[in-house]
């Protein structure tokens, strides 16, 4: 099992994707340990000095002017956990929970939160023992941090709530004892530090971004296969066209399409018999998918920063012995990243369905009607296109921006919120729908290529052979479900990407994401 060291500074997207996709262990680096200790000392010094300090010896939010007696400060921190643990809805998945827990550890490890080292070490131990807090998905508006879902992490650390242990739901106190771990008694600022932060919305947004990136790669590959199936022209993919526009994603997608179609017999037929101009779903793939790639790259940059960000409040600055209240818990960057990801997911599926519709339309594609050898007796891909259209409509409905839908809370004290968690939570379901659309197009594209009877390029032939190893020709009607399920697994599992990625590697062997 891999071990990932959590340090101060940026831990990087590769680390976060590994944590999401694999079981790993974590350890605190020396710099993180030193930073945590320094910040905690600053909080202790401030307490010794006396006077009101938000989040340490005052109430929270609208009650921040209320100074709490010193003897009640521990109770204050416990109470903020208890009252915020009011989540509802289905729990986060194990992968999402690991990612959120690891990012909360990384945020505290930056040394600006003021918690004890022992508290962070307990979180690391829980992660490494796979004691995963049960975190309901509903209850956060994405401002003042993801208070409610993060409270369910904190709840388990004080011995309440439930965790997953060996696949079962177990009371937290029992699970901690089983691993020889002790619940913490919260000290000044610790309850608030655990609750303030964007780790839940960021974990969900990252999950969506990781899955969307793989779906994007699959969409480009399947688009190339469809281009071959309809004898589409690759002239619109010529590099000079895209260089003069200067959009990096567009340049990269065109390059991939050229590499994926290089050397096939379809190219010769296209030159001799192809259309002067293809419909936009073929001709404008670099422009549409390139714009999606640019958005996904922007999302990666935003979320990579946010994953290691200090997003609690107040923030401790040990170098000057200051504790300053601000608004880093507001998840607007994450909300925008989630909304942008949703737009890209929606457009990837929209163009896929249009290519599918093209293949079924004999007047445009030149292929048999609905890709069947005996239209009328057989309906071929008629209903498959209807199903894809329904799924495109569903993703369109889900792609409405969540970030514009602020609902004020805490008697208008927290009067603008991000709704980042809402925006991020929909993404995995949207990608699932996108993968289903792509799976239908994959089956149709392979069928179209079989009707043409020409030799594909090496990577596309390998993909076609993979499909045909599990799915026979579909030119005669039979139960569609098993074929669809096989194709869906191929797309979702990344098998297509594993086959075709080599075709678009740069000369230096590095995969380009523009």
**Treating both helix axes as pointing N-terminal to C-terminal, what angle do 427-452 and 199-229 enclose, rounded to 10 degrees?**
10
The domain segmentation of the chain, as residue ranges, is 3-197, 205-504
Give ∠ CA 121-200-489 in degrees, rounded to 5: 110
Say if residue 35 is exposed, middle or buried (CB neighbours under 10 Å; 0-12, 13-18, 19+). Answer: buried
CA distance 367 to 476: 15
Instruction: Find the catalytic residue in 54, 280, 289, 413.
Output: 54
Q: Is 280 annotated in the active site?
A: no
**pLDDT in the model for residue 71:** 75
Q: Which two tokens stand for residue 501?
A: 């990625």
Complete DSSP assignment for 463-509: HHHHHHHH----SS---SHHHHHHHHHHHHTTHHHHHHGGGGB-TTS
Q: What is the pLDDT of residue 61?
A: 66
Residue 502 is predicted with a pLDDT of: 80
Buried b (16+ CB within 10 A) or exposed e, 360-384: bbeeebebbbbbbeeeeebebbbeb
DSSP 291-311: HHHHHHHHHHHHHHHHHT---
Report pLDDT for 514.
47
Q: What is the DSSP string of 39-89?
A: HHHHHHHHHHH-S--TTTSB--GGGTTPBPPGGGHHHHHHHHHHHH---EE
**Which pLDDT does position 408 carry in this prediction?**
85
What is the value of pTM for the model shown? 0.93
State the helix-helix crossing angle for 285-307 and 248-261, rounded to 10 degrees: 120
State residue 169's pLDDT score: 94
If the chain, 514 residues long, is cut into consecutive pieces of 10 residues, what is the mean pLDDT of each piece? 92 95 96 96 84 70 70 84 93 96 97 96 97 94 90 97 92 96 94 94 97 97 96 94 96 96 87 83 97 97 96 92 89 96 98 97 93 92 96 96 87 81 96 98 97 93 96 94 97 94 58 44
DSSP state of 314: S
Question: What are the structure tokens assigned to 199, written together?
Answer: 């780790």
Token pair recorded at residue 70: 């010193």
Residues in the chain: 514
**What pLDDT score does 489 carry?**
97
| CATH fold for domain 3-197 | Fumarase C; Chain B, domain 1 (1.10.275)
CATH numeric code, 205-504: 1.20.200.10
**In angstroms, how far is the first alpha carbon of the chain from the final one?**
31
Indicate if the alpha-carbon torsion angle 425, 431, 434, 435 is positive or negative. Answer: negative
Residue 51 pLDDT: 66
């Amino acid at each position: 099992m891999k071990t990932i060291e959590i340090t101060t500074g940026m831990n990087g997207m590769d680390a976060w994707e590994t944590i999401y996709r694999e079981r790993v262990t974590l350890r605190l680096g020396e710099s993180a340990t030193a930073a945590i200790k320094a910040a905690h000392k600053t909080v202790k010094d401030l307490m010794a000095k006396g006077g009101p300090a938000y989040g340490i010896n005052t109430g929270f939010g609208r009650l921040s002017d209320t100074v709490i007696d010193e003897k009640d400060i521990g109770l204050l921190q416990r109470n903020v956990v208890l009252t915020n643990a009011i989540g509802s809805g289905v729990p986060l998945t194990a992968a999402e929970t690991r990612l959120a827990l690891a990012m909360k550890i990384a945020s505290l490890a930056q040394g600006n939160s003021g918690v004890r080292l022992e508290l962070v070490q307990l979180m690391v131990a829980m992660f490494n023992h796979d004691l995963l807090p049960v975190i309901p998905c509903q209850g956060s508006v994405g401002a003042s941090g993801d208070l409610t879902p993060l409270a369910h992490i904190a709840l388990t650390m004080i011995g309440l709530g439930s965790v997953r242990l060996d696949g079962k739901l177990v009371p937290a106190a029992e699970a901690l004892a089983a691993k020889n771990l002790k619940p913490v008694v919260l000290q000044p600022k610790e309850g608030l530090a655990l609750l303030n932060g964007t780790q839940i919305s960021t974990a969900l947004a990252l999950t969506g971004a990781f899955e969307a990136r793989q779906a994007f790669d699959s969409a480009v590959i399947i688009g190339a296969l469809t281009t071959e199936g309809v004898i589409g022209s690759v002239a619109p993919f010529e590099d000079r066209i895209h260089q003069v526009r200067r959009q990096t994603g567009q340049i990269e997608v065109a390059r991939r399409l050229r590499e994926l179609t290089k050397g096939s017999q379809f190219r010769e037929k296209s030159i001799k018999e192809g259309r002067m101009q293809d419909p936009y779903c073929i001709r404008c793939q670099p422009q549409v998918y390139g714009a999606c790639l640019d958005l996904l790259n922007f999302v990666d940059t935003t979320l990579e920063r946010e994953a290691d960000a200090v997003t609690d409040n107040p923030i401790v600055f040990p170098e000057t012995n200051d504790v300053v209240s601000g608004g880093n818990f507001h998840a607007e960057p994450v909300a925008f990243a989630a909304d942008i990801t949703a737009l890209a997911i929606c457009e990837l599926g929209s163009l896929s369905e249009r290519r599918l519709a093209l293949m079924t339309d004999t007047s445009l594609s030149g292929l048999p009607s609905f890709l069947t050898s005996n239209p009328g007796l057989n309906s071929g891909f008629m209903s498959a296109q209807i199903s894809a259209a329904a799924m495109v409509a569903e993703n369109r409905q889900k792609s409405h921006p969540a970030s514009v839908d602020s609902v004020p809370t805490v008697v208008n004290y927290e009067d603008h919120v991000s709704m980042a968690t809402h925006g991020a939570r929909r993404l995995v379901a949207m990608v699932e729908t996108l993968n289903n659309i792509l799976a239908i197009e994959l089956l149709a594209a392979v069928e179209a290529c079989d009707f043409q009877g020409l030799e594909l390029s090496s990577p596309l032939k390998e993909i076609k052979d993979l499909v045909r190893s599990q799915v026979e020709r579909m030119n005669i009607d039979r139960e569609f479900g098993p074929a669809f399920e096989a194709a869906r697994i191929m797309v979702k599992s990344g098998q297509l990407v594993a086959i075709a990625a080599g075709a678009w590697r740069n000369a230096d062997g590095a995969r380009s994401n523009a």
